[in-house]
A and B are shown apart, each in its own frame.
Chain A
C-alpha cells in the first residue's frame, strides 16, 4: 500500500491505505475521529464535511489521495472547550441545534466561508450552507450564530 501524508488538524499524519479509500472512513476508522459524521455516503447531506485547505468538502466521497500533502481540518481541529473557535462559542450561545448530528459539517462549512468572506451577508451564509442538510429545523439559529461569530471575529 502506498503511504499518504497530510496534516490533520495541524499534526503530520501518514496513512498506508488504498489511495481510493474514502477519506471519511479513514478519519473515523483508523484515525478514530468522531467529528465528521456519516450521513449518506454520496456527498448529498454534508454531515461529513471537513476542510481541505480552505475549502469545505464532503469526506465520504473524497478519496484519500485527494488530501496528499494538504491540510485537513475537522471539527476537532476548529477549537476545544478550553479554546473554542468563535463559531463554537456562538453555537452554544445561540443554542443553535436540536439533535446536533449535522452540526460538525455545518460548522466546517461556516468556518470555510469565514476564511474567504469575513463579513458575509445572511444570504451568503445561507448559500454557503445550502449543501448541508438539517432535519430538525435549526437552520435559522445556525445562521444567526454564524453571523454573530463573524461579527466577533471582525471586531477582534
Chain B
C-alpha cells in the first residue's frame, strides 16, 4: 500500500514557483501577488489575511500586488465565486511552506532545532533568547523554487486573522478620493478616445464622412477598420464632441432583427437548439402518478449595469503593447488580444486596475481591445477609452434570458414521484481567452472580422451554465433535467452572476412552494422533509428561526422561503422574504442564513450576501433589458431602473461557521434563493403565482387575470 502523494491546491500546482506568489524583503515587507483581482468584492483583503496568518506577520506588512501578465501567477479568471477556494488555498499552502523554509534557515543560523523556534510578526525566536527574523534572512533565501506540498498549514485554532473581520485594504483610498479606479489613473502624454457603435443591432458601418470631424481642434486621429471606428483627441471633452460629429457622418446598414420582447419563451423555443441531458434519475420503485403539474418560468435578459462605464488604456511601443484593464482575467484577455492582433502573447502585457463593481463578463475586455486598436494609430502615446452609458447598457453581453418548464408528477397525496426540468436559453458564457477565436466585440467589427461567437455553457463539472443549479438537491425519486442551448444569438449573452442559477432556483423553489401549499404543508417543513444534507437543513432552519417562521398572516403582507446551494457544490443559502403587496410589491425584509464553510472574513461574507440579496431584489422587482425588433432600447437608468435606497429591504444575515470545511465564495449564493423567496412571498400575500420575471405591476395584473 502506498501513501497518496500530497496534493497541491490547483492554482499552486499550475504556478508552483513560490516566488511568483510571495516576496519577503529585508526592509520588513511581504509582497503577495495573487492571480485573482479585486472586482469590488474585497478579495484582496481576504487573501492578505490568509497570507499574513500563515506567515505570522501583521497584516500591515503585507503589500498586495495587482495582477499583471508580466509577473503574476496565472489563475485564469476571477469568477464563479472561486477566488477564496483557488487563490486562498494556494496562498495558504505557499505561505506555510515559506514559513517552514525560513524556520529551517533560522535553525541553521541559530544552531537550534526548528521545532523550538517560534515566529511573531516576522521575528523568529527560541530558547536562550536566540533570535533572527524573516527580514534578516530574506536576502539569503531564494524562493525561486517549486512548492512541494510538504508543508501543512496551521491548524484552525492557531489562525489569528482568518476567521476575523479585517478592514478592507482598499476602502480608505475610496472614501478619501485617492485615485485607485482605472477611471482615475492618468498616464503621461495620455490621449482620450471614443468608439462609434451602431444603435441598430449588429448594423455595419457602410459609409463614414470624416470631413467635419477632421476640422475639429484637438483631434489627433480618426480610426476606421471596417465597421470599427473611433476618434482620438487631446482631451476627453474633445473626444466626446468629436464622436458626436463623427456619428453624424456615419451611414449604417440594416441590422439583424431582435426577438419579440413580449414573447421570450416563444422565441427561445423556436430557435435551432443543441440539447443535452444534464442528469437523469430513475426511481427504484415506480410511483403512482395521479396527475402532472406543468409550469413555465421565464427570466428576461439582465444587464450588468455597473455604475461606471467600462474603461481601458493602451500604449504601443513598436510591436509591443501594454494594456491597463479592469478585466476579470488578464491572461485570458491577453490570449484574445493576441488572436486579434496576430501577435505572440509575449509582446502583449496586460495589467489590472480596479474598475467599478463587476458581476460577470461585462465590457471590460471589449474596451481593452478598443483601446489597443485606437492607440495603434497614435504611435507611442497612451490612449484611454471609456464607453458611454448607452454603449454600456446596449453593447455589453447580457445575462441570458431563460424559459424553464417543469413537469412534476404527483401521486394521490400530492407527493412528488417524478420531475422533468427543461431549460431553453442562450449559452451563459462567451468569455475571452478560452477558444481558438476571440470573443471581443471589436474583433467582429474590423475589416477582416472574426465570426461572432455564439455563447456556450461551461460543463457541469465547473458548475454548468444555463443548467447551473437545475439538478434538484431534494430527494425526489426520479428526474430528468434537459438543457436546450440556442444556436443563434440575436442578443449578445455571456456570464452574469449565477449564470442560469438564478432562473433554475426560482423555478424549482417556486414549484416546490406551490406543491407544499397544495398539500397544506408548511413550505419549510416540506423542504426539510426532502433534504438529507445537514448543512442544507441547518441554513433553512437558521433562516426560519431568525425570521420567526412563520409570522401570523396580516393583510397586505406576505412571507416566502427560498433555498439553494450555489452550483450544488458551493455556498448554502436560505432566505425568508417579507413583502408588502397591493398593486406593487415592496420587499420589506430579507433574513438569510449562509454556510460557506470556513469563513476568512465574516464581515466580508456578510457584505457579499447583503449585496447579493439586494441586487437580486433589484433583478426581481425591476430589471429587464428592453428592445424593439431593431435595437436595444434600455439605454439609460430611466429605461433600465434598478432598486433605489428607499426601496431597499432590511437585510439580516446569519453566517454558520464551519472552520473545518474548505471555504467557498459568497458572491453568488443569495441571488437564486432571494428570487424564489420574494416570488413565494408574493403568492402568500396576494394569492397569485408570478412565473415571469421581473415581478412588476403589469406582471401582477397579468398573473391575476390568468388565475382568475
Tell whether, in the assembled complex, residue B389 and residue A42 are in contact, meaning their CB atoms are under 8 Å apart. Answer: yes
Q: Which of B624-655 contact A (CB under 8 A)?
A: 636-638, 642-646, 648, 650-651
A80 to B172, CA, bound (A): 10
The size of the chain B interface, using a CB distance under 8 A, is 58
Tell whether, in the assembled complex, residue A137 and residue B613 are in contact, meaning their CB atoms are under 8 Å apart. Answer: yes
Tell whether, in the assembled complex, residue A97 and residue B615 are in contact, meaning their CB atoms are under 8 Å apart. Answer: no
Q: Which of B110-130 contact A (CB under 8 A)?
A: none
CB of A40 within 8 A of chain B? yes
* Interchain CB contact (< 8 A) of A25 among B175, B237, B354, B359: B237
Tell whether, in the assembled complex, residue B39 and residue A99 are in contact, meaning their CB atoms are under 8 Å apart. Answer: yes
Q: Mark B589-621, 1 if CB is under 8 A from A, else 0.
A: 000000000000001000110111111001000
From A132, which residue of chain B is reached at the shortest CB distance? B645
Tell whether, in the assembled complex, residue A34 and residue B177 are in contact, meaning their CB atoms are under 8 Å apart. Answer: yes
Tell whether, in the assembled complex, residue B356 and residue A130 are in contact, meaning their CB atoms are under 8 Å apart. Answer: no
From B609, which residue of chain A is reached at the shortest CB distance? A137
A41 to B635, CA, bound (A): 12
Tell whether, in the assembled complex, residue A37 and residue B389 are in contact, meaning their CB atoms are under 8 Å apart. Answer: no
Residues of B within 8 A of A104 (CB): 177
Tell whether, in the assembled complex, residue A136 and residue B357 are in contact, meaning their CB atoms are under 8 Å apart. Answer: yes
From B356, which residue of chain A is reached at the shortest CB distance? A101
Residues of A within 8 A of B167 (CB): 92, 95
Tell whether, in the assembled complex, residue A135 and residue B237 are in contact, meaning their CB atoms are under 8 Å apart. Answer: no
CB of B388 within 8 A of chain A? yes
CB of A148 within 8 A of chain B? no
Q: Mark A118-156, 1 if CB is under 8 A from B, else 0.
A: 000001011101101111111111110000000000000
Q: Known: A101-B356, A135-B356. Is A34-B179 also a contact (CB below 8 A)? A: yes
Residues of B within 8 A of A75 (CB): 175-177
A22 to B305, CA, bound (A): 23
Tell whether, in the assembled complex, residue B308 and residue A38 are in contact, meaning their CB atoms are under 8 Å apart. Answer: yes
Tell whether, in the assembled complex, residue A42 and residue B177 are in contact, meaning their CB atoms are under 8 Å apart. Answer: no
From B171, which residue of chain A is reached at the shortest CB distance? A92
Tell whether, in the assembled complex, residue B305 and residue A130 are in contact, meaning their CB atoms are under 8 Å apart. Answer: no
CB of A47 within 8 A of chain B? yes
A65 to B186, CA, bound (A): 26
CB B288 to nearest CB in A, in angstroms, measures 46
Q: Which of B137-175 contact A (CB under 8 A)?
A: 165, 167-168, 170-172, 174-175
CB A95 to nearest CB in B, in angstroms, measures 6
Tell whether, in the assembled complex, residue A45 and residue B307 are in contact, meaning their CB atoms are under 8 Å apart. Answer: yes
Tell whether, in the assembled complex, residue A37 and residue B644 are in contact, meaning their CB atoms are under 8 Å apart. Answer: no
Q: Known: A37-B308, A137-B610. Is A130-B646 also a contact (CB below 8 A)? A: yes
Tell whether, in the assembled complex, residue A92 and residue B175 are in contact, meaning their CB atoms are under 8 Å apart. Answer: yes
CB of B100 within 8 A of chain A? no
A39 to B613, CA, bound (A): 23
Tell whether, in the assembled complex, residue B645 and residue A143 are in contact, meaning their CB atoms are under 8 Å apart. Answer: yes
Tell whether, in the assembled complex, residue B646 and residue A126 are in contact, meaning their CB atoms are under 8 Å apart. Answer: yes
Q: Known: A127-B646, A140-B651, A143-B645. Is A34-B356 also a contact (CB below 8 A)? A: no
CB of A107 within 8 A of chain B? yes
Q: Which of B39-67 contact A (CB under 8 A)?
A: 39-42
From A88, which residue of chain B is reached at the shortest CB distance? B175
A155 to B615, CA, bound (A): 35
Tell whether, in the assembled complex, residue A137 and residue B615 are in contact, meaning their CB atoms are under 8 Å apart. Answer: yes
CB A79 to nearest CB in B, in angstroms, measures 7
CB of A117 within 8 A of chain B? no
Q: How many cross-chain pairs have Cβ atoms below 8 Å apart between A and B?
A: 161
Q: Mark B2-16, 1 if CB is under 8 A from A, else 0.
A: 000000000000000
From A107, which residue of chain B is reached at the shortest CB distance? B175
Tell whether, in the assembled complex, residue A100 and residue B648 are in contact, meaning their CB atoms are under 8 Å apart. Answer: no
A35 to B613, CA, bound (A): 28
| Interface size, A (range) | 35 or more
Tell whether, in the assembled complex, residue B637 and residue A40 are in contact, meaning their CB atoms are under 8 Å apart. Answer: yes
A140 to B636, CA, bound (A): 24
CB of B225 within 8 A of chain A? no
Q: Known: A97-B171, A126-B646, A135-B615. Is A44-B638 also a contact (CB below 8 A)? A: yes
CB of B27 within 8 A of chain A? no
* Chain A binding surface SS class: loop
CB B599 to nearest CB in A, in angstroms, measures 15
Tell whether, in the assembled complex, residue A40 and residue B389 are in contact, meaning their CB atoms are under 8 Å apart. Answer: yes
From B39, which residue of chain A is reached at the shortest CB distance? A99
* Interchain CB contact (< 8 A) of A101 among B168, B175, B307, B643: B307
A123 to B175, CA, bound (A): 23
CB B294 to nearest CB in A, in angstroms, measures 35
CB of A98 within 8 A of chain B? yes
CB of B306 within 8 A of chain A? yes
CB of A69 within 8 A of chain B? no
Tell whether, in the assembled complex, residue B235 and residue A101 are in contact, meaning their CB atoms are under 8 Å apart. Answer: no
* Interchain CB contact (< 8 A) of A139 among B183, B309, B359, B645: B645
CB A140 to nearest CB in B, in angstroms, measures 6
Tell whether, in the assembled complex, residue B389 and residue A95 are in contact, meaning their CB atoms are under 8 Å apart. Answer: no
Q: Which of A16-50 contact B (CB under 8 A)?
A: 21-22, 25, 28-29, 32-35, 37-42, 44-45, 47
Residues of B within 8 A of A141 (CB): 607, 610
CB of A72 within 8 A of chain B? no
CB B317 to nearest CB in A, in angstroms, measures 26
A123 to B167, CA, bound (A): 28
Q: Which of A65-104 contact B (CB under 8 A)?
A: 74-76, 79-81, 84, 88, 91-92, 95, 97-104
From A92, which residue of chain B is reached at the shortest CB distance? B171
A100 to B354, CA, bound (A): 10
Chain A CB count within 10 A is highest, among B165, B235, B646, for B646
* Interchain CB contact (< 8 A) of B603 among A32, A95, A125: A95
* Interchain CB contact (< 8 A) of A38 among B186, B309, B650: B309
Tell whether, in the assembled complex, residue B637 and residue A44 are in contact, meaning their CB atoms are under 8 Å apart. Answer: yes
Tell whether, in the assembled complex, residue B356 and residue A138 are in contact, meaning their CB atoms are under 8 Å apart. Answer: no
A61 to B305, CA, bound (A): 20
CB of B184 within 8 A of chain A? yes
Residues of B within 8 A of A127 (CB): 645-646
CB of B181 within 8 A of chain A? yes
Tell whether, in the assembled complex, residue A91 and residue B356 are in contact, meaning their CB atoms are under 8 Å apart. Answer: no
* Interchain CB contact (< 8 A) of B181 among A33, A101, A129, A139: A101
From B166, which residue of chain A is reached at the shortest CB distance? A95
Tell whether, in the assembled complex, residue A139 and residue B648 are in contact, meaning their CB atoms are under 8 Å apart. Answer: yes
Residues of B within 8 A of A130 (CB): 644-646
A104 to B183, CA, bound (A): 13
A79 to B172, CA, bound (A): 12
Residues of A within 8 A of B603 (CB): 95
From A125, which residue of chain B is reached at the shortest CB distance? B645
Residues of B within 8 A of A97 (CB): 171, 174-175
From B184, which residue of chain A is reached at the shortest CB distance? A34
Tell whether, in the assembled complex, residue A95 and residue B607 are in contact, meaning their CB atoms are under 8 Å apart. Answer: yes
From A46, which residue of chain B is reached at the shortest CB distance? B307
A42 to B635, CA, bound (A): 12
Residues of A within 8 A of B356 (CB): 99, 101-102, 135
9 contacts between A and B (CB under 8 A): A22-B237, A40-B637, A42-B636, A45-B637, A95-B165, A95-B167, A99-B356, A126-B645, A137-B612
The list of the 8 closest CB pairs from A to B, nearest first, reads: A99-B40, A137-B614, A137-B611, A100-B174, A99-B357, A34-B184, A35-B177, A101-B356
Q: List chain A positions with a Cβ less than 8 A from chain B.
A: 21-22, 25, 28-29, 32-35, 37-42, 44-45, 47, 74-76, 79-81, 84, 88, 91-92, 95, 97-104, 107, 123, 125-127, 129-130, 132-143
Given A126-B648, A135-B307, A138-B611, 5 more contacts at CB 8 Å? Answer: A92-B172, A130-B645, A137-B614, A137-B618, A143-B645
